[in-house]
Amino acid sequence: MAILPIYEVPHPILKQVAKPVVSVDDRVRRLLDDMAETMYAANGVGLAAPQVGASERILVAAVPLRGGWSEETEEDEEVGTKAFLTEVINPEIIEREGTLLYDEGCLSVPEFSLEVERSERIVIRALDRHGDPFEFQARGFYAVVFQHEIDHLDGVTLYDRMSALKRALYLKKLKKMRKNGAGSNPNPPEPTP
């Protein structure tokens, strides 16, 4: 397994609509493994393939999936740690219910958070790491995580949700941060197809 570089805004790969996975093979499984390793190393709760330079509809989340449900319980202290991993390929949201507001952050938009309105409960249809279809429900914070990561697959980040003025100020701040070498990655390698 390898820790991959994380692409940050305004890198163009984050704006692309990612392509569906046609064949879930060893290459895809390796990418899933590397994405999980990268997510844990960065203390992220979710990571989408475009964030590591692969424009493909793949995401991982450090949240549990139990009996077709991904819902927070009081025992979930290990969220964001290696205790939990949900792998999702070619996800589609086939049902939505309710709304909630959540203050979201993103590994590709460092030092920034934004309140976003999301569906409170969703049903996702996807493929697992063996290429088999499965469905699950996600609720609350975990539903937010999956919706955030699926946004990445559609080329949408928190950066795109900022006003033009906010975006300009943020880029300025980011540039300054990078000059100080503050934990960001200004020049990731060119994406692999």
> How far apart are CB 159 and Ni ion at their closest, in Å?
10
The window from 56-64, 91-99, 102-110, 170-178 that contacts Ni ion (CB under 5 A) reads 102-110
Q: Which residue has the tokens 């999936």?
A: 65
Phi, psi of 97 (to 5 degrees): -150, 135
> Between 60 and 126, whose beta carbon lies closer to Ni ion?
60
Distance (Å) of CA 93 to CA 33, 118, 121, 135, 151: 24, 12, 10, 10, 11
Q: Other C-beta atoms within 10 Å of 123: how many?
A: 17
Residue 149 catalytic?
A: yes
Angstrom distance (rounded) from CA 55 to CA 62 = 21
Q: Does residue 163 sit in helix, strand or coil? A: coil
On whether the CB atoms of residues 146 and 122 are closer than 8 A, the answer is: yes
Q: Other C-beta atoms within 10 Å of 27: how many?
A: 11
> Between 63 and 106, whose beta carbon lies closer to Ni ion?
106
Tell me which amino acid residue 57 is.
R
Q: Which of 37, 87, 149, 190 is catalytic?
A: 149
Binding mask 137-176 for Ni ion (x = CB under 5 A): ----------------------------------------
* Sheet bearing 86-106, strands edge to edge: 46-48, 58-61, 86-106, 109-127, 133-139, 69-70
> Between 131 and 140, whose beta carbon lies closer to Ni ion?
140
Q: What is the DSSP letter of 34?
A: H
> How far apart are CB 107 and Ni ion at their closest, in Å?
6
> How far apart are CB 128 and Ni ion at their closest, in Å?
22
Query: Between vectors from CA 180 to CA 178 and to CA 186, what angle results, nearest 5°?
Result: 20
> Between 28 and 106, whose beta carbon lies closer to Ni ion?
106
Q: Binders of Ni ion: how many residues, by CB under 5 A? A: 1
Taking CB under 5 A as the criterion, the residue among 36, 39, 106, 145 binding Ni ion is 106
> Between 113 and 133, whose beta carbon lies closer to Ni ion?
113
> How far apart are CB 74 and Ni ion at their closest, in Å?
26
Q: Which residue is nearest to Ni ion (CB)?
A: 106
Contacting Ni ion within 41-100 (CB under 5 A): none
Q: Which residues bind Ni ion (CB under 5 A)?
A: 106
Q: Mind telling me the catalytic residues?
A: 149
